[in-house]
Amino acid sequence: MKTYLVGGAVRDALMARREGTPGASHVDRDWVVVGATPEAMAAQGFLPVGRDFPVFLHPDTREEYALARTERKTAPGYHGFAFHAEPGVTLEDDLARRDLTINAMAVAAEHAEDPAAAALIDPHGGQRDLRERVLRHVTGAFAEDPVRILRVARFAARFPDFAVAPETLDLMRHMVDAGEVDHLVAERVWQELARGLMEQRPSRLFEVLRDCGALQRLLPEVDRLWGVPQRAEYHPEIDTGVHLMMVLDMSARLGAPLTVRFACLCHDLGKGTTPAEALPRHIGHEERSARLLKGVCQRLRVPVDCREIADVVAREHGNIHRSGELGAAALVRLLERCDALRKPARFHEVLLACECDARGRLGMGEQAYPQRPRLAQALAWAQAVDTAPIAAQAQAAGLTGPRVGEQIQRARVAAVAAGLGATGPANAGD
C-alpha cells in the first residue's frame, strides 16, 4: 500500500513557498492510503474511526489516515452518502471527490516534511489556481454536498484575494435553487459559520453566501440588511449591510474572539424590520435585534457564551455608545443591566464588540473609542466597593432584600462619582 499527504497541508506549503515564508501554516495533516484494506490497516495498529467510515488513527501520532475512496450521493443534503473504498480505488479517484482544486493536490508520504519541494500530484490544476488566486470546484460531484457552499465561502474569507470561479459560483446558485442548503443540519451550518467568522476577512464569507443566494436561506435576518438605509451623520456608508461587513472586518482586525464576532454579526438585526415609513431612523431596533437573535440562536444551536454576549450587545450597544454622556448613577444602572459586576470578563467582550461597531463605519476606522476605557474604569470603581459591611449594616438597621441592594447600589454610585470627579469634570447624577 502507498500513503500520500493530501489537502490543506500541501496547499499551505505551496503557498508558503510562493510567498517566500518557510514551512506550512496548516497544522493538521490529512493522509490517504491507496491499495489497503481495513484489515491491513488494523494489522499495522491503526485504530478505526466509526463503524462504516474508512478512516483510521495512526497508532502513534493519532493523525487521520483515510482509505482512498469514492462517494455516491443517496439522499438530499449532507447526510446521504455511500462510500466505496477498496484496494482498486486510485489516488486520482480520491482527489476527484474533493471540493476545490487547491485542496485536491497530494505528495507521497516520504516528501511530507517538505511538500513544496516534492513531486506534486495535481490532476485538477490546483497549483495553477493557487498562482492565479482562484477558488474552483474539482468536478460536478461538488454539487452533491451542500456543505461545500459554506466551505467555499469560508475559504474566500481565509484567502480574501482569491476570487470564486464564475462556473463554481453558477454551480453554487443551482444548488441553492435546487433546495440543497435547506437540508443542512444546524450543527454543520454553525461549525462553518463559526470558522468563517474567525478568518482573515469574515465579510467575504457573507458576500459569497449572498452572491449565490445561500445567505437568504440560512440567515435571512442578515440577508435583509442590505439596502436598508441609516442616517448618514452616524453612518456615512448608509447601507446597513455594508456597515455590518465593515464591523465584522474590524472585529478581525482587532483580533476579537468568536463570541465578539458573533455579537457583531447580530447586533443590528432589528434594522432589517424597521417600517419603511420610519427610515432612515431605527427607533427601538435594539429590542427587535434581541428578539431576532433568539430565533437565530435556536435555529443554529449557537453556544451559550456566544448567545449571551450577543444578547447584551444587541440590547445595549446604543446605550454604550452614548455612555460618555452618562453620569455615575446611569453608568451603574448600565453596568447592572449588562450584568457586568457578576461577569466582568464578558462585559469587556461586550465593550470590544461595541468598539468594532463604532469603528466599522466609513472613515471612522482609526477613531478612538473612549467609551470602552471609561466604562471599564467605571466597572473597576464599582467593583472596588466592599459590599459585605454595607450589607451587614443595612441588615442591622432592619433592611432586607431589595432595600439592602439599594444601599449597595448607592455605595457603587458614590464610588463611580468620586472616580469621575477625580479624573475630570463629569456629571455625577443622571
CA distances from 285 to 244, 275, 292, 351 (A): 15, 11, 10, 19
* pLDDT, position 253: 97
* pLDDT, position 82: 57
All three cell numbers of 199: 478568518
Exposed, middle or buried by CB within 10 Å (0-12, 13-18, 19+), for 225? buried
> Residue type for 127, please?
Q
Q: Tell me the torsion sign for CA atoms 375, 332, 413, 421.
A: positive
Cβ-Cβ contacts under 8 Å for 256 (sequence gap 6 or more): 264, 349, 352, 353, 356
* pLDDT, position 426: 45
* pLDDT, position 74: 53
- C-alpha to C-alpha distance for 268 and 210, rounded to whole angstroms: 18
* pLDDT, position 20: 52
CB of 31 closer than 8 Å to CB of 63: yes
* pLDDT, position 392: 84
* pLDDT, position 176: 97
Q: How many CB atoms lie within 10 A of CB 151?
A: 19
Q: How many CB atoms lie within 10 A of CB 83?
A: 15
Backbone angles phi, psi at 282, to 5 degrees: -135, 60
* pLDDT, position 403: 81
Q: Where along the chain do its domains lie?
A: 1-135, 220-423
CB of 109 closer than 8 Å to CB of 65: no
The matching CATH number, chosen from 3.90.228.20, 3.30.460.10, 3.40.50.2000, 1.10.287.130, for 1-135 is 3.30.460.10
Give 144-192 pLDDT, tens digit per residue. Answer: 899 999 999 999 999 999 999 999 999 999 999 999 999 999 999 999 9
* pLDDT, position 425: 45
* pLDDT, position 72: 62
CA distances from 242 to 144, 205, 237, 248, 278 (A): 32, 13, 7, 10, 20
* pLDDT, position 19: 57
Exposure pattern of 278-296 as b/e (b: 16+ CB <10 Å)?
eebebeebbebbbebbbeb
CB of 118 closer than 8 Å to CB of 108: yes
Question: Which pLDDT tens digits describe the chain residue by residue (430 residues)?
Answer: 899 999 999 999 998 866 554 444 556 788 999 998 888 988 999 998 876 678 999 999 899 899 987 766 555 655 555 566 677 788 999 999 899 999 999 999 998 888 877 789 999 999 999 999 999 999 988 998 999 999 999 999 999 999 999 999 999 999 999 999 999 999 999 999 999 999 999 999 999 999 999 999 999 999 999 999 999 999 999 999 999 999 999 999 999 999 999 999 999 999 999 999 999 999 999 999 999 999 999 999 999 999 999 999 999 999 999 999 999 999 999 999 999 999 999 999 999 999 999 999 999 999 999 999 999 999 999 999 998 888 888 777 777 778 878 888 999 999 999 999 866 544 433 3
CA 304 to chain centre: 15
Bridge partners, 49 (sequence order):
55
Closest Cα to residue 133, out of 152, 160, 105?
A: 160
